[in-house]
Amino acid sequence: MHFLLNQNTTPTELGAINPNTTILQWLRNNNLVGSKEGCASGDCGACTAVIAELVVQDKKQVIEYKSINTCIALAYSLVGKHLVTIEGLIEGKVLHPVQQAMVDESGSQCGFCTPGFVMSLFALYHNETKVNLTKINDALSGNLCRCTGYKPIIAAAFSAFNEKPKKPSDYYTQNRSKIKQALIRLNDHQKASLSYTNNGNTVRYDAPTSLQELDQVLNKNPAAKIIAAGTDLSLEITQSLKEFSHIVNVTSVKELQAIRDGHSELEIGSAVTYQDASASLFNYWPGLEAFLHRFASLPIKNWATIGGNIANASPIGDMPPVLIALEAELKLRKNSNVRLVKLEDFFVSYKKTILKKGEFIESIVIPKPTSKEQLITHKISKRYEDDISAVCMAIKIILSGDQPSSVRIALGGMSEIPQRAHQLEKALIQHWNQENLTQHAYKALKKEFSPFNDVRASAEYRLKVSANLVKKSILMMKGENVADLAEMTQTSSYLEV
């Protein structure tokens, strides 16, 4: 169970560890303490490190750098990858350019959050040739600072890129070929299966690399906990202090990482991350780009999978309402048996689905849009990004002239499951041009939904804001000048560099 660590192309052994161990725990247990635990839930960014892995771009195998939250990623998911932490940036006594820029621009005060910011900037430094404020804000999303403020950190990002042509290449650029060859050798032996025993308790871990291997593991162990990225499931380990007795990690299953762009449908493997799926999604539904800015921070999108967001059956998962509105179906697999089910029929009750023991989500199948189809999405949350929705709404509408001929609406945060709003769809068609549409929408919602009260919103707020989102959606479809808070619009005196 090996991976590459920092400036070392000799593989590092993870050692005999509990499969429930997070990357952050492993780092700190091995005296790599630059990464901090601030929240243990992927919210603050103090634990941010960078994963480098081999990907295929334009038919060439290249190294891609991704910032991730190490507090909610399992250590065994490092196998076959390259982990870069804050300790791996300095070369001798020379700071990395992004570190030096943080010093020059006074981007650090107490320093607790600084390693996370630096690692996010390091990933940006390797992934982009030039930046603007939007790219910087996206790269730094999920990193919180309480004392410095963000202006000097943003200035450090611009400074690092301004100085980039004048600086010698860093270790990772100079040794790219050597790192690539080391990763190729590591991935020749990627399959993992082991047991860990401590105080009489045994924990098993499997990381199959093909559907056939996954089927074999689940046939023998149908009750095993299937995990992809674990950005939600890991919270049960870090927050609820649970320990899973058998973990099956599916992120190395090649078939589950595929995206198939067919004639009439887009099929996305369940282990595809949001960031990897984004280009295909934006190609057919451009409006989703603004929505995914609200969805989560970049480190979460770099790691989280679409299949995981569905399988965890959370009532406040943001992607299921969108996919329900788009009439998505799921391919569910058990051995060689595959069944196709509508996503809206997948959820049964809170955290319960129609999955049978040993069955898993193979892919998500989304019909491609027609020329007359429009999709509008809304996310209401207290923080702009990286926050749980009070309400998530997706509306797909087909117009015939200036009247709707078909409407599909799905909501998250309004019941114990992501749910289709049948009554609201009828109300929207019947009262499309009426001034009192909002009132009719409210009545339809109250008839079909019984929202809950929690720290994010009251039940009444959820009903009223959802009714108003319907009216807002219609105004947007009609071309009215309505502010859409999901849009990432920023003005600044900073120039693109």
* pLDDT tens track for 427-451: 999 998 888 999 999 999 999 999 9
Band of the pLDDT at 478, cuts 50, 70, 90? confident
Band of the pLDDT at 492, cuts 50, 70, 90? very low
Tell the residue number behind the tokens 């399959």, with chain if given. Answer: 191
Last residue of a domain, one of 170, 187, 204: 187
Tell the residue number behind the tokens 């921070």, with chain if given. Answer: 297
Is 73 part of a structural domain of the chain?
yes
Query: Are 9 and 60 spatial neighbours (Cβ–Cβ below 8 Å)?
Result: no
- Asked if the model's pLDDT at residue 1 lies above 50, the reply is yes
* Residue 400 main-chain phi, psi, to 5 deg: -115, 100
In whole angstroms, what is the distance from residue 248 CA to residue 224 CA? 7
Band of the pLDDT at 402, cuts 50, 70, 90? confident
Query: Are 308 and 229 spatial neighbours (Cβ–Cβ below 8 Å)?
Result: yes
Is 221 part of a structural domain of the chain?
no
In whole angstroms, what is the distance from residue 286 CA to residue 19 CA? 39
Portion of the chain with pLDDT greater than 70, in percent: 96
Q: What is the pLDDT of residues 354-397, one digit of tens each?
A: 999 989 999 999 999 998 899 999 999 887 777 788 999 999 99
Beta-bridge partner residues of 62: 55
Portion of the chain with pLDDT greater than 90, in percent: 69
Question: How many domains does the structure of the chain reveal?
Answer: 2
Beta-bridge partner residues of 54: 63
- In this prediction, residue 495 carries a pLDDT of 46
Band of the pLDDT at 79, cuts 50, 70, 90? very high
CATH number of the domain enclosing 134: 3.10.20.30
For 286, the token pair is 């451009």
The rounded radius of gyration (Å) of the Cα atoms in the chain is: 23
- In this prediction, residue 480 carries a pLDDT of 76
Is 169 part of a structural domain of the chain?
yes
Query: Are 57 and 65 spatial neighbours (Cβ–Cβ below 8 Å)?
Result: no
Instruction: Kindly give the pairing relationship between strand 329-334 and strand 360-367.
Output: antiparallel
Band of the pLDDT at 494, cuts 50, 70, 90? very low
The HSE-up count of residue 303 (CA atoms within 13 Å, CB side) is 29
Four-residue CA torsion sign, 3, 306, 37, 350:
negative
Q: What is the pLDDT of residues 142-171, one digit of tens each?
A: 899 988 889 999 999 999 999 999 888 999
Is 316 part of a structural domain of the chain?
no
- Asked if the model's pLDDT at residue 76 lies above 50, the reply is yes
For the stretch 419-436, what's the b/e string if a residue is b when 16 or more beta carbons lie within 10 angstroms of its beta carbon? bbbebbbebbeebeeeee
Q: What is the pLDDT of residues 315-355, one digit of tens each?
A: 888 999 999 999 999 999 998 899 999 999 999 999 899 99
- Asked if the model's pLDDT at residue 20 lies above 60, the reply is yes
In whole angstroms, what is the distance from residue 208 CA to residue 220 CA? 13
- Asked if the model's pLDDT at residue 482 lies above 60, the reply is yes
Is 30 part of a structural domain of the chain?
yes
DSSP for residue 356: P
For the stretch 169-203, what's the b/e string if a residue is b when 16 or more beta carbons lie within 10 angstroms of its beta carbon? ebbbeeeeeebbebbeebeeeeebeeebeeeeeeb
pLDDT, averaged across the chain: 90
Per the structure, the complete domain to which residue 164 belongs is given by: 2-187
Query: Are 265 and 368 spatial neighbours (Cβ–Cβ below 8 Å)?
Result: yes
From the number of C-beta atoms within 10 Å of its C-beta (0-12, 13-18, 19+), residue 76 rates as buried
- In this prediction, residue 487 carries a pLDDT of 46
The HSE-up count of residue 212 (CA atoms within 13 Å, CB side) is 0
Last residue of a domain, one of 168, 187, 206: 187
Is 28 part of a structural domain of the chain?
yes
Last residue of a domain, one of 161, 187, 213: 187
CATH number of the domain enclosing 444: 3.30.390.50
Q: Tell me the three state secondary structure of residue 204.
A: strand
More confident residue, 404 or 342: 342
Is 60 part of a structural domain of the chain?
yes
Weakest mean pLDDT among 29-33, 70-74, 487-491: 487-491
Instruction: Kindly give the pairing relationship between strand 48-57 and strand 60-69.
Output: antiparallel
More confident residue, 408 or 41: 408
Residue type (1 letter), 494: Y
The HSE-up count of residue 394 (CA atoms within 13 Å, CB side) is 28
- In this prediction, residue 99 carries a pLDDT of 96
For 390, the token pair is 């009070």
Is 455 part of a structural domain of the chain?
yes
- In this prediction, residue 224 carries a pLDDT of 92
Q: What DSSP letter does each residue of 217-231 carry, written as one string?
A: HHHH-TTSEEESS-T
For 126, the token pair is 């390797």
